[in-house]
Structure formats: C-alpha cells, structure tokens
Amino acid sequence: MRNPPKRVLVVEDDLALCRALAAALDTFGVEYRIRHSVREARGELARLDADWQPDLVLLDVLLQDGTALDFLQALAPGSPLPVIVAMSGSAQPEQAFELAQLGVRRFLPKPMELERLGEALSAACAEAPTIRQHVKALVGARTLSDVEDEVRTTMVAEAVARAGTVRGAARLLDISRQLLQHILRREA
C-alpha cells in the first residue's frame, strides 16, 4: 500500500468484519485500535494522547448506538482531523453526500473486497484535506480577515516545521522564499 496511514481507529460493530479488517491492517503494517460503538469511539478520542493519534478513521455508517454523523460531530473540535473513510452496506445516497460534506474522503460499500481496502486507504491518505466544513462553521463567528490570517499563520508554521528550512517551506507552500521571509518577519 502506498501512502499508508500510521495509525487507524476502526469503528465497526460487526465482529467478523472487525477480525477481517484487523488481519488486513496487520498485513499493511498499520497500528490500529478497534471500537464497536459510537460511545466506545468517543471514549477512545477522549483518552487519546500525543503518542497515539489516529491518522485515519475507518468508520461504519450505521452502528448499534448511533451513526457516523454522531461520531463526526464528536470529532469536529479535535485538531488535526484524521482522514475519514466510511463504510456501509445500507447507507442511502443522501447519507453518503452528507458524510462527504463533513470531510469523509472515501466510501466503501459492504460487503467489501479487502484488496480494495488498501487502495481506498492509500487514495484517501494521498488526497489533500478539505477545509470547507471548518470554514463553514466560522461564518458569522469570525471575520474573513481573521480567518485568512489564521490560515496563513498555521500553514506557514506547519510548512516550516515539516521542511525545517525556509527554502523547503517555501517549496511546500508554492511561494517564493522572499515572500515567505517577508511573512515570517511580519508575524514575528
């Protein structure tokens, strides 16, 4: 699998499918935790520490005690958001659309072929995340100028941290080194 996630939180109530997913994730060399309900998954999120943050959540749409939407509402305040891949054997098109609006990057139908699982996880991890749902939540709460400033500051800080150099950060941001230096001086 190319672009594999490092840590996966599986939220699925079908025990047989959980075993199959665990076996597949083992072959991918991925760390994972499995939870069987919205309540358990929320509890897992509350216990997470810096040593184990999921890069990806493999999420059943319909669980015994709620839905993927319930789980995603609990995830929304967290930062950074993990990649979300939803799976279902009975989700309606409206549900799939609503989940996509909340940031779900891939949708796997059940029953699924486990070979397609690796492809879906890789593809979901390779996509750039959308910020649409976060921006929508800010309408009326923050000014456009404040949001622009925060996005710029966050992206610059993350690019510098990832690249380790101004030149490398400028490449990640697709801007000139001089412009990045100007931004850094202005923010200092």
CATH of the domain at 19: 3.40.50.2300
In a domain, 174, yes or no: yes
In a domain, 135, yes or no: no
Token look-up 């760390």 returns 31
> Are residues 28 and 103 located together in one domain of the fold?
yes
For the stretch 126-183, pLDDT in tens is 877 667 766 777 788 889 998 888 888 888 988 888 788 999 999 989 999 999 999 9
Report the 10 Å Cβ neighbour count for 98: 16
1, pLDDT greater than 60? no
Determine the Cα–Cα distance for residues 7 and 57; give it in Å rounded to an integer: 9
Determine the Cα–Cα distance for residues 126 and 119; give it in Å rounded to an integer: 11
Determine the Cα–Cα distance for residues 182 and 186; give it in Å rounded to an integer: 6
> Are residues 119 and 30 located together in one domain of the fold?
yes
pLDDT on residue 142: 86
- Arithmetic mean of pLDDT over the chain: 84
What do you get for the CA distance between the two ends of the chain, in Å? 41
77, pLDDT greater than 80? no
Across the range 100-119, mean pLDDT stands at 82
> Are residues 12 and 47 located together in one domain of the fold?
yes
pLDDT on residue 171: 92
Q: Which domain holds residue 107?
A: 7-127
In a domain, 63, yes or no: yes
Determine the Cα–Cα distance for residues 103 and 59; give it in Å rounded to an integer: 12
> Are residues 85 and 123 located together in one domain of the fold?
yes
79, pLDDT greater than 70? no
> Are residues 91 and 148 located together in one domain of the fold?
no
pLDDT on residue 150: 86
Give bridge partners of residue 142 from the DSSP assignment.
139
Across the range 19-38, mean pLDDT stands at 92
pTM (whole model) above 0.85: no
> Are residues 95 and 119 located together in one domain of the fold?
yes
Domain count, the chain: 2
Upstream peptide bond of 111 is cis (omega within 30 degrees of 0): yes
In a domain, 68, yes or no: yes
Q: In what order do the strands lie in the sheet with 83-88?
A: 31-35, 7-11, 56-60, 83-88, 104-109
> Are residues 123 and 152 located together in one domain of the fold?
no
More confident residue, 76 or 167: 167
More confident residue, 50 or 74: 74
pLDDT on residue 19: 94
> Are residues 116 and 175 located together in one domain of the fold?
no
More confident residue, 1 or 174: 174
55, pLDDT greater than 90? no
Across the range 66-71, mean pLDDT stands at 88
> Are residues 89 and 147 located together in one domain of the fold?
no
